[in-house]
Chain A
Amino acid sequence: MSLMKRMALIFRSKANKAIDRMEDPRETLDYSYQRQLELLQNVRRGVADVATSRKRIELQITQLTQQGDKLEGQGRQALAAGREDLAREALTRRSGLQQQISDLQTQHANLQAEEERLTLASQRLQAKVDAFRTRKETLKATYTAAEAQTKINEAFSGVSEEMSDVGLAIQRAEDKTAQMQARAGAIDELIASGALEDPSGLGKDDITAELERMSSQSEVDLQLAKMKQELGAAEPRKELEGEGK
């Protein structure tokens, strides 16, 4: 059988099963309306969840970019101090970060698309729920068992199909967010462990430590030279005081 038809039947059979469970079709209407409202809540929550994940990724992109800039600065600093090995190390790490950043940017785009899709799904469902509520009241008011069944079935099938569609969209968004959360968690751990960056600023990565060691080394050398100079030529150089730093 044709795929389009098979899929339509799958959706239809869901609706029919729900209808068959009900003794009075009017009950079906009220029950379905409740389910529709619940689903609307779910899809809105879905939109909020995806938005939260998207923002988390944005934050990570910012953090990693800052870390990349810092490494670039350190590379420059190391090179200026004649430590090409250290500069190379800093730039290698930076290129690793670039890879992470571009992966995150792809994920960000995916989540944004998912968010838009869910938002549209929620608008479509809202329109159908409103239409269903009106239809349900009319049907209940003019209810006669003989003719109502088919009309109820039609309205019910229409909205039930939309509900299945929205349900699938929510499922898919949840899957995508869950995958993303796992990755984001791993990146947060990397950041927290100091492998990428220590946000507290207390611990130091090894490149920073090496640069500081070098800079304090040259500071010490400078001080030593200054002291030697002062000791060696204290008397004649007195007039130069205040010029050196």
Chain B
Amino acid sequence: MIVRILSEGQYELDDEAVAELNTLDDELTRSIDAGDDGAFRAALSSLLAKVREAGKPLPVDSLQPSDFVLPDPDAHVDDVREMLGDEGLVPG
């Protein structure tokens, strides 16, 4: 599975690692639904740390699309809510 961290790049992870990510992802989703930036920040940084630790960076010239996309490390919970609510926010 390929995971992109926005503004950082793509990582390749095996299915086992992805299963672990799912638990953290649930927490992240809950914090977004609650609009709780503190919880969001904590969940996001553990999730990103896990991806960086378990994943192998894809070469920069790889053209593979990602199976999962994660917000950038500085993202605020409101930015992500906006991105999810309004697809127009993503340019291109």
Decide: A161 and B4 in contact? CB cutoff 8 A: yes
Specify the chain A residue showing the minimal Cβ separation from B30.
Answer: A3
Also in contact, A164 and B91, with CB within 8 A (given A2-B25, A10-B84, A169-B7)? yes
Specify the chain A residue showing the minimal Cβ separation from B70.
Answer: A4
A1-38 to B contact mask, C-beta < 8 Å, 1/0: 01111111011111100100000000000000001000
Q: Which of B17-64 contact A (CB under 8 A)?
A: 21-22, 25-26, 28-29, 32, 60-64
A169 and B25 CA atoms in complex are apart in Å by 23
Instruction: Choose from A12, A154, A165 the contact partner of B6 (Cβ within 8 Å).
Output: A165
Decide: A11 and B29 in contact? CB cutoff 8 A: no
Instruction: Choose from B9, B69, B83, B92 the contact partner of A4 (Cβ within 8 Å).
Output: B69
Interface residues of chain B: helix, strand, loop or mixed (majority): mixed
A94 and B82 CA atoms in complex are apart in Å by 42
Q: What residues of B have a CB within 8 angstroms of the CB of A121 in the complex?
A: 7
Q: Is A57 an interface residue (CB 8 A)?
A: no
Instruction: Choose from A127, A161, A163 the contact partner of B66 (Cβ within 8 Å).
Output: A161
Shortest Cβ distance from residue A103 to the other chain B in the assembled complex, whole angstroms: 19
Decide: A128 and B60 in contact? CB cutoff 8 A: yes
Q: What residues of B have a CB within 8 angstroms of the CB of A13 in the complex?
A: 87
Decide: B90 and A130 in contact? CB cutoff 8 A: no
Q: Is A194 an interface residue (CB 8 A)?
A: no
Shortest Cβ distance from residue B75 to the other chain A in the assembled complex, whole angstroms: 9
Decide: B7 and A5 in contact? CB cutoff 8 A: no
Shortest Cβ distance from residue A131 to the other chain B in the assembled complex, whole angstroms: 4
Count of chain B residues with a beta carbon within 8 Å of a chain A beta carbon? 33
Q: What residues of A have a CB within 8 angstroms of the CB of B6 in the complex?
A: 165, 168-169
Shortest Cβ distance from residue B84 to the other chain A in the assembled complex, whole angstroms: 6
Also in contact, A158 and B60, with CB within 8 A (given A164-B91, A167-B92)? no
Q: What residues of A have a CB within 8 angstroms of the CB of B89 in the complex?
A: 168
Q: Is A67 an interface residue (CB 8 A)?
A: no
Q: Is A117 an interface residue (CB 8 A)?
A: yes
Q: What residues of A have a CB within 8 angstroms of the CB of B66 in the complex?
A: 8, 11, 161
Decide: A154 and B63 in contact? CB cutoff 8 A: yes
A123 and B85 CA atoms in complex are apart in Å by 30
Decide: B25 and A3 in contact? CB cutoff 8 A: yes
Decide: A165 and B68 in contact? CB cutoff 8 A: no
Decide: B64 and A158 in contact? CB cutoff 8 A: yes
Decide: A2 and B71 in contact? CB cutoff 8 A: no
Q: What residues of B have a CB within 8 angstroms of the CB of A154 in the complex?
A: 63-65
Shortest Cβ distance from residue B10 to the other chain A in the assembled complex, whole angstroms: 9
Decide: B3 and A168 in contact? CB cutoff 8 A: no
Shortest Cβ distance from residue B66 to the other chain A in the assembled complex, whole angstroms: 6
A121 and B81 CA atoms in complex are apart in Å by 23
Decide: A158 and B62 in contact? CB cutoff 8 A: yes
Q: Is B67 an interface residue (CB 8 A)?
A: yes
- A-B CB proximity, top 10 nearest: A167-B91, A158-B63, A4-B68, A157-B65, A131-B61, A7-B69, A127-B60, A164-B92, A127-B61, A8-B69
A sample of 13 inter-chain contacts (CB < 8 A) reads A3-B32, A4-B21, A5-B68, A13-B87, A35-B92, A128-B63, A157-B65, A163-B92, A164-B91, A165-B7, A168-B90, A169-B72, A170-B91
